[in-house]
Chains A and B, each alone.
Chain A
Amino acid sequence: MTGPTPLALKVVPPRPTEDRRAVLRELYVKYGGSVRERCRYLLKDASRAEDAMHDVFARALVHGESFRAEASPLTWLMKIATHHCLNQLRAEGAAWRRWFARDEAARSEGHGGSEAMETRDLVRKLLARVDAETQAAAIHYHVDGMTLEEVAAVLGRSVPTVRKRLEQFAKLGGEELSVR
């Protein structure tokens, strides 16, 4: 086999080390429940949601310092989790339509029709009918309860742009989704 012959070992000692396990434990305690909840809300499958949650925290570890420098790690994590799950659904194509159909079926078996449907369920039902950015805006605004300004900051868009997207989304769902 080609390659270097063994020579003396040069060890680069740990510099100000970060204890990855301690970092991960802190993330687990502070954000684990929220991220899992987001993944379950979108993927509606406990096993897939857990895999997605692992992916999100793995990305947080890889981004290390910059992630922890965020003013709100929660915002970063929820943005990544939302984006990751929506991408996963979108990539599945036909599965996205099945996902939508399953949501419809669940609703018809419910007991209150659209009036009784919680806002978050209504939002999820409508997601398949809008573009990716509107999906994210609707989730952060209606499900997370962010302000327009916070949603705009997360998406890197202006407040008027976000408002316009949310107003278009509201036309699909009625008064319950009005933008304040």
Chain B
Amino acid sequence: MSAHESSWTLRRLHAGELPPPEANRVREHAETCEACGAALRSFADAQATFEAEVPFEGFEAGVERARARQASRAPATRAQWVRPLMAVAASVLVLVLARPLLETGGRTEPVPPPVAGNRIKGGAGAELRIGGGVEPQRVASTESPEALRPGERVRLGYTADAYRYVAALSVDARGEVTPLYPESGDSLAVEPGAGQHWLPESVEFTGAGAERVVLVLTDAPLSMEALSDAARKAFDAAGRDVTRMAPLDVAGAQTQWILLKP
């Protein structure tokens, strides 16, 4: 075994990652070992050079640009509906083709950003629309995280088809669950009539980081307490990573979106 500490151990010491007993041992060694002391100093020098060459404000701006870029091209990784998907392919195709025409007054060019939605069980589905900022309204994709700009709010819509109840909640990056519709009690009876209905009020998510929004359609009333518990369990099961949560373990059909708060 080498008499010197490994470069990796020294780098972790420099980053403050070693547990105290090991950190003390390695630090004491580095104080008396020329090679290890020099390596440790080189890490500090490299960091100092980095900070001198890349001021924090520039670094922060670059990271934010990268974050927005990643959000706009993130691959589809999350399942949104837990019901059988036999009817999904055709209905999503209809939505994707039809919606841009609706929103452009018949012009054929696509409306950025991409439109997404869900249709199951013959026509049930959900939509999350973003608006209220300086940009035109847009429909949030269920396929990738959607970056919110300052001041933007969201509105949730659903097409119930045969389902009778609707509920929605959100989960933030720390796993805090917020019942949205309703805020307590049991899920709401769906609005009568075919077609899409909008849940009341716009929602503004303040704070920062990722926020997962879940809309659930069910045949029977569902308590928001039970739905919130299911969300917490899904968050824990995903290693407390809100971006990796699986569909909630509740009956009915659900759609999920990930929003990246500004």
A44-58 with Cβ < 8 A to chain B: 50-51, 53-55, 57-58
> Chain B interface mostly helix, strand, loop or mixed?
mixed
Q: Interface on B for A, CB 8 Å cutoff?
A: 6-12, 15-17, 43, 46-51, 54, 56, 59-60, 62-67, 69-71, 102-103, 129, 131, 136-137, 145, 153, 155, 157, 170, 172-176, 178, 180, 198, 200-210, 239-244, 260
Distance (Å) between the CB of A118 and the closest chain B CB? 12
- Taking a contact as CB atoms under 8 Å apart, the answer to whether A15 and B201 are in contact is no
CA distance A147 to B25 in the complex (A): 18
Contact size class for A?
Answer: 35 or more
Q: How far is the CA of A9 from the CA of B151 in the complex (A)?
A: 11
Whether B11 contacts A74 by the Cβ 8 Å rule is yes
Complex CA gap A4/B156 in Å reads: 9
Q: Which residue of A lies closest to B238 (CB)?
A: A66
A112 vs B178: C-alpha distance in the bound complex, in angstroms? 64
B202 touches A7 (CB 8 A): yes
Instruction: Please report the number of residue pairs spanning A and B whose Cβ atoms sit closer than 8 angstroms.
Output: 171
A12 interface contact, C-beta 8 A: yes
B206 touches A50 (CB 8 A): no
Q: Given the interface contacts A11-B206, A51-B62, does A144 sit within 8 Å of B7 by beta carbon?
A: yes
With beta carbons under 8 angstroms apart, the residue of A12, A19, A32, A34 that contacts B59 is A32
Is A171's beta carbon under 8 Å from chain B? no
User: B129, B137, B202: which has the most chain A beta carbons within 10 Å?
Assistant: B202
Whether the pair B174, A15 counts as a contact (CB closer than 8 A) is yes
Q: Select one of A34, A37, A66 contacting B239, CB under 8 A.
A: A66
